[in-house]
Amino acid sequence: MNDKENALINWPVSAVLIGTFVLAVTVVPWYGLAHGYNAWSWIGFALLVVLNGIGIGSGYHRLWSHRTYAAHPALQVFLAVMGGMALQNSIIVWSARHRVHHRDVDDNDKDPYSIGRGFWFAHVGWMLKDYPSGEVDYSVVQDLEKNPVCAWQHRHYGLLVLATNVALPLFLGWLTGDILGMFLLAGVLRLVVSHHVTFFINSLAHIWGSRPYTDQNSARDNHLLALVTYGEGYHNYHHLFQSDYRCGIRWWHLDINKWFISVCALLGLAGDRKRASAFKVMRARLDMEFKEAARKLEQPGVSARIRAQFDFEYAQFAEIVKEWQMLQRERMQLQVDRMQQQKLKLAERFETETAGLTARYRELEASLKLQHKRLALLTAAVV
């Protein structure tokens, strides 16, 4: 592409990314072999690398980029400091690029880290040069520019970076008796690990894994990647339901950021957690499963009975979706009616209708779950 050929090298960013990586693979192991690291240095490394992951995942990503929940000012300051320590730019700049990534995902000319331009580009290459696709569009983060915590962090980002990446590791090293060891582990190695954990979401999470919810973009779900990235590896789900505060929606999904936000909610530090409706999630899964079943039915030797059963199941699926859409319209109208009646102090008469709608929603969700099981049996019969 032309911008690849004409883009100038971003020397400050390149120096930091390359310099810290070289130190992490040379000086860090040399010091360990020559002098050894004490337990406190390893504890400092482990603690700060997790806090960086939470700062980016729960803060930069789920709170500010996607507004999936609300946070108390104290929690916002904590996340702003921990995310800033990860040295991935300010909340405002990071979120601006991430929102554009979601809006124009896989568009090589607009997506700042489009996987269509290769693994290396999506992982780290997009930052090493000033590509037009990486220019910050501040028009998409006007809400964050008005947020006092985001604005404060953006103004003082350089000072925050020095305080957390230099002063803090040195201070912890002084407290624990190994200044250089703590700096190398909790400073240098922690920073490199934090960088590449996040970068994996832009690269590996777009090429490695499954697409159970949508095939309209390159994002994938991957349990192993979720473990490494604090839950961000359930990326196929996230790209379709980006307003959900969860990425891993099952109780057993490895989503540390989901659990962190939930604990903060119990403590009164977080609220208004947004979740995709169970019906929409199951509808997306079934839509993909029907696509897979249709592909298998194209194989020679599939009986007419199985094809007919598939057609029947799909027609039933379409009918359930149609009924759900009608319920959505009814609910919207009911909300309008309730607002009008509240002015007249007559809202009580609508409570029964609301309960009836909720019951019908539950029935449709149960129907989709049963159809999911039937479709699985039908698909298995084709193998």
pLDDT grade, residue 1 (50/70/90)? very low
Q: Is the pLDDT of residue 339 over 80?
A: no
Contact 27, 180 (CB under 8 A): no
pLDDT higher for 309 or 182? 182
> Average of pLDDT values for 225-245?
97
With 0-12 / 13-18 / 19 or more C-beta atoms within 10 angstroms meaning exposed / middle / buried, residue 57 is: buried
Residue 2 has pLDDT above 70, yes or no: no
The answer to whether 250 touches 333, Cβ cutoff 8 Å, is no
pLDDT tens across 55-76, in order? Answer: 999 999 999 999 999 999 999 9
Residue matched to tokens 């964050």? 144
pLDDT exceeding 70 applies to what percent of the chain? 93
The whole-chain average pLDDT of the chain stands at: 92
> For position 305, what pLDDT does the model report?
87
pLDDT(187) > 90: yes
Q: Say what the pLDDT of residue 4 is.
A: 52
Mean pLDDT of 77-93: 98
pLDDT tens, residue by residue, 111-165:
999 999 999 999 999 999 999 999 999 999 999 999 999 999 999 999 999 999 9
Which of 88-92, 342-346, 363-367 has the lowest average pLDDT? Answer: 342-346
Which stretch, 119-123, 250-254, 338-342, has highest mean pLDDT? 119-123
Q: Quick one: 125 exposed, middle or buried, by C-beta within 10 A (0-12, 13-18, 19+)?
A: middle
CA distance 350 to 367: 26
Whole-prediction pTM value? Answer: 0.91
Provide φ and ψ at 129, rounded to 5°. Answer: -130, 160
Whether the per-residue pLDDT at 6 is higher than 80: the answer is: no
Residues facing 270 on adjacent strands: 71
Amino acid at 288: M
Helices (H), the chain: 2-6, 11-25, 27-34, 39-54, 73-85, 91-103, 119-120, 126-128, 142-145, 148-155, 157-162, 168-176, 179-182, 190-202, 223-228, 235-240, 256-266, 278-297, 304-343, 351-382
Q: How confident is the model at residue 244 (pLDDT cuts 50, 70, 90)?
A: very high
Alpha carbon of residue 206 to chain centroid: 12
- Amino acid letter, residue 172: L
List the chain domain ranges: 2-271, 278-382
Instruction: Let me know: does 222 contact 210? Beta carbons within 8 Å.
Output: yes
Question: Which pLDDT score is estimated for 340?
Answer: 66
